[in-house]
Amino acid sequence: MSSVSKSIVSQESKGSVIDTKKPLVEFEIDQDVGIGSSIIEYSKTNAFQRFLYKISLQKDTSLTFSEMFLINDDLKPILDENERPWVWWNYVCFWISDAFNVNTWQIAATGVQNGLSWWETWISVWIGYSCVSFFMYISQRIGSNYHIAFPVVIRSSFGIFGSIWPVINRVVMAIIWYSVQAWIGGQCVQLMLQAVFGADIESRIPNGIPNSGTTTFQFLSFFLFCLFSLPFIYCRPQTLRHLFTVKSVACSTAGISFLIWTIVRAGGIGPVVHFKTIDKGSKEGWAFVDSTMNCIANFATLIVNAPDFSRLAKTRKSSSLSQSIAIPCSFAITALIGILASSASQSMFGEIYWSPLDLLTRYVESGSRGDRGGVFLIAFAFALAQVGTNISANSLSAGTDSSALLPRYINIRRGGFICAAIAFCVCPWNFFTSSSNFTTYLSAYAVFLSSIAGVVSADYTIVRRGYINIFHLYSVDPKLNYSYGKYGINWRAFVAYICGIAPNVVGFAGACGATVPSGANYIYQLSFFAGYIASFSVYTFLVWISPVKGMPCKLNEKGWYEEEVDYNVEDFFSETNNNHPNEYNLSKHRLF
């Protein structure tokens, strides 16, 4: 038997640029083992190094050092059409299922509570989610055409290494929101247990954690929901479409049934739909704006990470037109159900319950066995809705973004489980205390996300005109389009990002309780538009005075250069292994 190989780790070249020609490990193949085997000599490594090797996702020693920190199987473009199974009706089911959750149910409550009539509030919901569908259409195009995820998409605008900052932002917020949504899911589990074992079950379970801000029963429900979510985190994104198909049918059926049940019990739709408490004028106008902007802010996370799902589309049209129609329709219908059910609740209990979980709690306390059975089924539907929302908006985003931070060791699945583990330790019940402003901070985070979305959209639509060289997204070579020099950071993107945040800072302080000018509050009510438009405009201006590499034409020229990528996997990696990847040809399409 020939001697087994020695491992030689490549060294970084001078400066911050890594020599992509040197392999990470050179080795000789043991002839008795056969071609394709790689045996690493462990005699000169310590236990920690051996552990890192065992958990590494990339044991292919032909990969260069830079490739191991820029790419893994989940970050690669999905160029195989068989790996892109989502068709138009999968996206319709996805948005129908995403619309039905506790948060959407309460969206319309904001407008009515601010004094708008039910129909004014409903119109604001239609307008808000129509705006959302427009932003989603722009954001998802790059994913559906180039089949790449958000953390890879953002390399084109922020730079290969500059993209790390917005990715970290997304990971942190996805974890926190996962924790918050999981706590709400735990409240659904509480209702299910109360429906089975009685409304007084919480008082019958000894509270072993009296000073923690929660009870043993509430914590148990939270734990059960988190446990129920784990199998869905294990699923690949391609197969999650089946979850959303089931959820769209089960949850929409439960929502309509809940509405009919409530109206029948109340003997009508109640008094809320017949009055408004605000006079016509500027107050009414700003209440309408606030209701509209709540819809957009509720979608900020999904607008940013839209490529994570659109890259799964079988064709470019699969994800575009279908979701442009499905988003406003499904969310508006869910909001209307919430308005009517809440209105009917006042006729029954003399009090308006804007949260469906609060209304179901009253059903458990005052209902018969049949009522409790109905509560169990509807609460289960809400729990399933929370699982789907958490997976689509938080777990998948955290997993994908985490894989971009440490692609050698983390993939989407591992990142999702890491997100769930950290979220469990966040103690989300503290966010819901009356003295906590944390929910205000979470809502305000749409300001930061809108600034990121504005930069990415300007780079793709105005600067690049739809042209992205995907080979350059996986290389640190400073000569390529998205390295922006040897540091891999696009300063224009960060200046625009800060300018997008700046107009909303004073208004954000006002939302947290500080005394600020009324004008700042008005700007803050338009926070998503203000952040998006400011960052979009500033980035375009900075590129105009300081052009970037890879622009197919000047900003004052007409043209659109986007085409759906049609490379096979072998061709892609044969190109990415080159130090200077070849440009692929895109035909020019005139806009006018």
pLDDT in the model for residue 564: 63
What is the percentage of the chain residues whose pLDDT exceeds 70?
Answer: 83
- Domain endpoint, select from 35, 68, 101: 68
Range of the domain at 185: 81-576
In this structure, are 335 and 427 located in the same domain? Answer: yes
Query: If you average pLDDT over every residue of the chain, what do you get?
Result: 82
Does any domain span residue 35? Answer: yes
Query: Does the pLDDT at position 396 exceed 70?
Result: yes
Does any domain span residue 74? Answer: no
Helices (H), 159-214: 164-197, 201-204
pLDDT in the model for residue 275: 67
Does any domain span residue 421? Answer: yes
Does any domain span residue 582? Answer: no
In this structure, are 26 and 152 located in the same domain? Answer: no
Does any domain span residue 89? Answer: yes
Does any domain span residue 505? Answer: yes
Please give the structure tokens belonging to residue 591: 């806009």
In this structure, are 50 and 193 located in the same domain? Answer: no
**440-487 residue pLDDT tens:** 666 677 888 999 999 999 999 999 999 999 989 988 888 899 999 888
In this structure, are 51 and 137 located in the same domain? Answer: no
Please give the structure tokens belonging to residue 414: 């591992």
In this structure, are 408 and 360 located in the same domain? Answer: yes
In this structure, are 293 and 369 located in the same domain? Answer: yes
CA-CA distance, 581 to 464, in Å (whole number)?
Answer: 18
Classified as helix, coil or strand, 23 is: strand
CA-CA distance, 247 to 387, in Å (whole number)?
Answer: 10
Report the domain count for the chain.
Answer: 2
**339-378 residue pLDDT tens:** 889 888 888 888 888 889 999 999 998 777 888 999 999 9
What is the percentage of the chain residues whose pLDDT exceeds 90?
Answer: 47
Whether the CB-CB separation of 40 and 25 falls below 8 Å is answered with yes
Query: Does the pLDDT at position 267 exceed 80?
Result: yes
pLDDT in the model for residue 440: 64
In this structure, are 475 and 523 located in the same domain? Answer: yes
Categorize the per-residue pLDDT at 127 as very low, low, confident or very high, splitting at 50, 70 and 90: very high
In this structure, are 10 and 134 located in the same domain? Answer: no
CB neighbourhood size of 580 (10 A): 13
For residues 317-327, one letter each, b for 16 or more C-beta atoms within 10 angstroms of the residue's C-beta and e for the rest, the string is ebbbebbbebb
pLDDT in the model for residue 299: 86
What is the mean predicted confidence (pLDDT) over 243-268? 92
CA-CA distance, 432 to 156, in Å (whole number)?
Answer: 38
In this structure, are 485 and 370 located in the same domain? Answer: yes
Q: What is the CATH number of the domain that holds 525?
A: 1.10.4160.10
pLDDT in the model for residue 574: 53
**180-236 residue pLDDT tens:** 999 999 999 999 999 999 888 999 999 988 888 899 999 999 999 999 999 999 999
**What is this structure's pTM?**
0.85
Query: Does the pLDDT at position 55 exceed 90?
Result: no
Does any domain span residue 73? Answer: no
In this structure, are 451 and 360 located in the same domain? Answer: yes
In this structure, are 154 and 293 located in the same domain? Answer: yes
Query: Does the pLDDT at position 545 exceed 80?
Result: yes
Q: How far is CA 6 from the centre of its chain?
A: 44
In this structure, are 216 and 333 located in the same domain? Answer: yes
Categorize the per-residue pLDDT at 59 as very low, low, confident or very high, splitting at 50, 70 and 90: low
Does any domain span residue 506? Answer: yes
